[in-house]
A and B are shown apart, each in its own frame.
Chain A
Amino acid sequence: MIALLQRDLRLAIRAGGGFGLGLAFFLIVVVLVPFGVGSDSGLLAAIAPGILWVGALLACLLSLDRIFALDHEDGSLDLLATAPIPLEGVVAMKAAAHWVTTGLPLTLAAPGLGLLLNLPAAGYGWLAASLALGTPALSMIGSFGAALTVGLKRGGLLLSLLVLPLYVPTLIFGAEAVARGIDGRETGTPLLMLTAITLASMALLPFAAAAAIRINLR
């Protein structure tokens, strides 16, 4: 399983595009927002937590169809399905690789982009914390969606329709934690809920995703 993780990471970094793409997309979203809503710094500060979270979500979505599609095309997914490790483990490792190549860079880059959106000083720590806790759930939910659509020729658009409603609770608690952090209210509840979503999706969704892959490979 570790070997699989390393393989996926190497593929993402070397095979071009996959690694930096999400980050560049995140940057562009953040640059575009002031053009859309005006450059009033007070307004930007007010919407910064939400924009940063929505941006992270979309950046994550962008790279989802790569999780299984490439392996499905060249047949290595069939090999992985018959490999001695359980398919659930394969899914978990794939999601982990996706997180390391998108969620982790997003978490690290978000405070820098917060600067561009005039995020209040109190928000930086909470932003990083909420993204660190929430993005694993995004990767895991996303790989479930990718597993559902892996057999389809143009599954990309369908994938976003399926996955975005599932992202709603994560988004709400993530943005809420940052907004509360800025106002100086207690942030324990949203962060705990975020952690709960992440842990529950890591515990349960690999089974659903593996079931979906088995159906698609049948």
Chain B
Amino acid sequence: MPSLWEYANPQKFMQTSSVLLPVFSVVAAICLGVGLVWGFFLTPEAENFGSTVKIIYIHVPAAMMAINAWVMMLVTSLIWLVRRHHVSALAARAAAPIGMTMTLIALITGAIWGEPMWGTYWVWDPRLTSFMILFLFYLGYIALWEAIENPDAAADLTSVLCIVGSVFALLSRYAVNFWSQGLHQGASLSLDKKENVADVFYIPLLFCIAGFVCLFVALVLLRTRTEIRARRVRAMLARERMA
């Protein structure tokens, strides 16, 4: 069993990810294709929601990935701080814009869904508000990466920010809960309780979630590879100047 830390070697990472990237891309495309087509065209309209319920196939997976991307960044940041694992820091950097986009997708599809359901595009509901705050955290994180020139210092500082930000993101999540009671329905998916979503909608939703997870992995791999290549180019240019 090879150690996970082998992938600290960018060469090894590039080799492995060049195999994994097409696999994840294809699986993502298949899952999303199946899930979205099934969800949009082959499910009945829900009695109290009408056809707007179908936005769930984008909204819910995007919202899940928005949070999971931050968790992934937290883990990779910790690995960077402890093991000085360069690929890990680059993966965190690569994941941030994807997470931000997922947050934005969740916010926008939520607004589109909210208008016919709640009669308003935006309310200061706890979940909406905490997602907005998550979006701001992503913005700050990306801005800090962009602002610092020295790549190692940038990786260190953004890692510290990510850890502190996680604590405050969690705190905000419960703080806004406390501050106002909103319109959002309770969690519709859970592992231990009976599902609140009827089976007809549930199975395509699972496909969509799997598709989003694979899409996220594929995009992170792709962007990390780009970051590694960009860094190699920079190293080559530096060497050229030295010569």
- Which of A's residues lie within 8 Å of B, judged by CB? 144, 148-149, 151-152, 155, 158, 161-162, 164-166, 168-169, 172-173, 176, 189-190, 193, 197, 205, 208, 211-212, 215-216, 218
Contact = CB atoms under 8 A, between A and B. Distances in A.
Contact of A215 (B153, B163, B168, B169): B153
Dominant SS among interface residues on chain B: helix
A168 B133 contact: yes
Contacts of A190: 178
Interface stretch (B55-63, B87-95, B96-104, B136-144): B136-144
Contact of A216 (B136, B140, B153): B153
B147 A155 contact: yes
B79 interface: no
Contacts of A151: 148, 153
Interface in B154-177: 156-157, 160-161, 163-165, 168-169, 171-172, 175-176
Q: Which 7 A-B pairs have the closest CB atoms?
A: A169-B175, A165-B136, A215-B156, A162-B140, A172-B175, A169-B171, A168-B172
Given A205-B164, A215-B157, A216-B153, A162 B144 contact: yes
A173 B175 CA distance: 7
Interface of B: 133, 136-137, 139-140, 143-144, 147-148, 153, 156-157, 160-161, 163-165, 168-169, 171-172, 175-176, 178-179
B148 to A, nearest CB: 7
Given A158-B147, A215-B153, A165 B140 contact: yes
Contacts of A173: 175, 178
Contacts of B163: 208
A164 B147 CA distance: 18
Contacts of A189: 178
A166 B165 contact: yes
A82 to B, nearest CB: 19
Given A148-B160, A158-B143, A189-B178, 19 more contacts: A144-B164, A151-B148, A152-B148, A155-B147, A158-B144, A161-B140, A161-B143, A165-B133, A166-B164, A168-B168, A168-B175, A169-B171, A169-B175, A172-B179, A193-B175, A197-B171, A208-B163, A208-B164, A212-B157
Contact of A211 (B148, B160, B178): B160
